[in-house]
Structure 1
Amino acid sequence: MKLLVPVRHYLLILVVLILAGCPSPDDNQPGNLPSATPDSETKSEHTPPPEDQFEMSLQRDPVDDEITRYMLSNDKGMVVELINLGATVTRVLLPSGNGESVNVTLNFEDPTTYKMNPPYFGSICGRYSNRIAQGKFSLNNQEYTLATNNDPNHLHGGNEGFNKKIWIAEEINEADQVGVQFTYVSADGEEGYPGTLTVKVKYLLNNDNELKLEYTATTDKETVLNLTNHCYWNLGGAGSGSILNHELNLNCSQYIPVDKTGIPTGELADVAETPMDFTSFHTLGKRIEQVEGGYDHCYVRDNYDSEGVQLIATLRDPESGRSMEILTTEPGVQLYTGNFLDGSENVGGYAKHGGICLECQHFPDSPNQPEFPSTTLAPQEVYQQTTIHRFKFAK
């Protein structure tokens, strides 16, 4: 709305301004400076925005000569922190009702600790996430031997998997999202795998509180590939206690039974009328004692051969009211309830069941299980995967 002022008032105002602008005889003498505006006047004219107003942003913070931290934030107050070591998610901060933020993923406080990272907190696992039996597979009539770093099997890419590599980072600043693209080139023969593999992983945060992971990869020689992110979630807050009070729903009517070493038996089993059934919401702790060792199983997404991103899991914490939906293009999700967390320094001090992993991926040991969806990547092909974490929380 415009305020209309009579012309005679304009003339009066003009005269006053001219007189006020005329310097006094001493004003232009050396040593005489114009008077500063009092701080109180400056603050009253430039009031800072309220603390509950946020904006989308991307910040970069070097940790040491190798590691750089990236901080993504949106206009809802959600913050995601990443490092280029392992293309790792180190914190996911959600606003709470009391004006503070709560980190909902397990982490190490010191980013350099991720150079070891025995539990794979927040990292990209590869070349092959999950297990390969006896550390062996055949491709084109040639047998390949991998490290058996999870005796007697190969796990998450071996002794020096993608979680221990420094990735090249490229910042993404777009109108509707911010993010980082991490790139790593795995040499032919690295950890026993064939082919030079170029992997790109994009982390994207938008104002719908969605953290999207977009993976692509190409190879110059036929190889096997199964990528995932290994975040441990605790919607009550990292370090707040057990996740056994969380409620889980999986759009999975089948799971993959495994032997005592975590290798699939080759069948897809129905979850109905078993402790494995999460086709409706169940509290994680309700039946976990009926599962030897706790949950560490790959679930098969309903209609897993359909294309596009599909809802596979919903996790919620009744106490805090926070929830997380996971959508993916992958055929399976590995449910792991932090059974080997032991409270030691190696695992960041987190106790058993202090976090839950929901790792979207292909099935374990697929290179040795011909009836499972193929994880072979040929030179003329492009590996593609999308996984979305959608968070809901009290404003």
Structure 2
Amino acid sequence: MVYNPTAIKIPDASSYNRKIGSQQVELYYLKNDAGMQVVVSNFGAHLIGAWLPDRRGNLTSVILGFDNIEGLALQKNYYGSTVGRYANRIAKGKFTLEGKKYTLPVNNGPNSLHGGVNNFSLKMWQAKQIDSKTIELECFSGHLDEGYPGNLKAKVTYSLTDDNGIVINYEATTDKTTVVNLTNHAYFNLNGEGNGDILYHIVQIVADKYTPVNKTMIPTGEIALVKGTPLDFAQPERIGKRINSDHPQLKIANGYDHNYVLNRHGVHLPVSIVTGDLSGIKLEVFTDQPGLQFYTGNYMAGTNTLRGGVKDKARTGFALETQHFPDSPNKPQFPSTVLRPGEVYKTQTIYKLSV
């Protein structure tokens, strides 16, 4: 693969000029003093992309995405999506809360994934650009929307700092007891979008444990040690070194697609660090959430045309989704995702990029 970071351009707002329902799709541009730019849309509160100079000064697209609204609206892989009400999987689309059973749409084998069929990534959000570095987006999800109880008001704020941090603040309130687990599903390629796979990226995840899954990708309920397994990234390691190992968990997921139980919570120290081998661009992830889903694009199948006409071939992007654990509503031993009236769901994630 020829290293060509300048091939992927920042999308023009005119390519997203379309109405969904009665609302106009818009792009919002954030820019800092270091020359980094971030693009966000009110459709699905999507993180459309991020561009920053690599070690040679070339403006590099590090988040995979689309040149136009058609590609974004039709895709099934959640590129840059804000997902909810519940990120990740809920077994068989069912859970019981305060003695009442709830049924969700099943959209991932026998399970409900990322909030169901009409999840947050497909909704139009109300957007307000605060200044050149900050945008707020709000969304209303009615009682029993996709099966979830409660009228939920959600808010996502993207801020770009001058040290190249993409700060994502999530908030939500409800009028009935419900479950909430919001995240962003950006796919990164730190060598630049369209510059091959991510198997030579170096990754570290500050976690001694993870939640093993069954054959349908639902946690078994066990919290297991990563030590002695190919899932151990406590020390920096190349993504591709062990990805095809003959390990039951990697066979089930066709690679890495696992929730790591983070050793620390808070936004003062990174929970994961990834470096692109060609660009020298480094990604640090900070979060106050207990879990981190590491996904290596195992089911990217070349069916989507990304920016610049690039196909989304397998493992050409990776995701680090900050979250509570999958299927927590059915696993009382996991940290709770219950939100009650009068409470405020509040969490922060930072994706910080540097060279």
Regarding TM over 0.5, the answer is yes
Gaps in structure 1 of 5+ consecutive residues = 1-58
1:356 correspondence with 2:315: no
Give me the whole-angstrom Cα distance separating, in 2, the residues matched to 1:75 and 1:303. 31
Matches within 5 A, 1:155-304: 155-173=113-131, 178-290=133-245, 291-292=250-251, 293-304=254-265
SS at match of 2:40: strand
Aligned residue for 2:68? 110
Give me the whole-angstrom Cα distance separating, in 1, the residues matched to 2:240 and 2:194. 17
Q: Cα distance 1:115–1:287, how it changes in 2: closer, same or farther (>3 A)?
A: same
Aligned residue for 2:78? 120
Q: 1:308: Cα distance to partner? A: 5.6
1:328 to 287, 291, 305: 287
Encode CA deviations 1:291-327: one digit per residue, 9 max, x unaligned.
Answer: 21100000011045xx665421001012211100000
Q: 1:178: Cα distance to partner? A: 1.3
SS at match of 2:271: strand
Give me the whole-angstrom Cα distance separating, in 1, the residues matched to 2:122 and 2:210. 30
2:104 to 128, 135, 146: 146
Give me the whole-angstrom Cα distance separating, in 1, the residues matched to 2:54 and 2:226. 35
Structure with higher Rg: it is 1
2:276 partner amino acid? D
8 Å contact 1:314–1:323 — kept in the other structure?
yes
1:367 correspondence with 2:326: no
SS at match of 1:191: helix
Gaps in structure 2 of 5+ consecutive residues = 1-11
8 Å contact 1:85–1:114 — kept in the other structure?
no
Q: 1:63: Cα distance to partner? A: 2.3
Using the size of structure 1 for normalisation, the TM-score is: 0.81
Count of aligned pairs: 330
Q: 1:98: Cα distance to partner? A: 4.8
Aligned residue for 1:67? 25
SS at match of 1:289: coil
Q: Cα distance 1:346–1:75, how it changes in 2: closer, same or farther (>3 A)?
A: closer
8 Å contact 2:87–2:181 — kept in the other structure?
yes
1:132 correspondence with 2:90: yes
1:357 partner amino acid? A
Aligned residue for 1:390? 352
1:340 correspondence with 2:299: yes
Larger RCO of the pair (alpha carbons < 8 Å, separation 6+): 2
1:295 partner amino acid? Y
Give me the whole-angstrom Cα distance separating, in 1, the residues matched to 2:273 and 2:136. 26
Q: 1:109: Cα distance to partner? A: 1.2
2:336 partner amino acid? S
1:382 partner amino acid? V
Encode CA deviations 1:113-146: one digit per residue, 9 max, x unaligned.
Answer: 2222200000100000000000000011100000
2:66 partner amino acid? F
Encode CA deviations 1:160-193: one digit per residue, 9 max, x unaligned.
Answer: 10000000001122xxx71110100001110000
Q: 1:100: Cα distance to partner? A: 3.4
Q: Cα distance 1:382–1:269, how it changes in 2: closer, same or farther (>3 A)?
A: same
Give me the whole-angstrom Cα distance separating, in 2, the residues matched to 1:309 and 1:195. 33
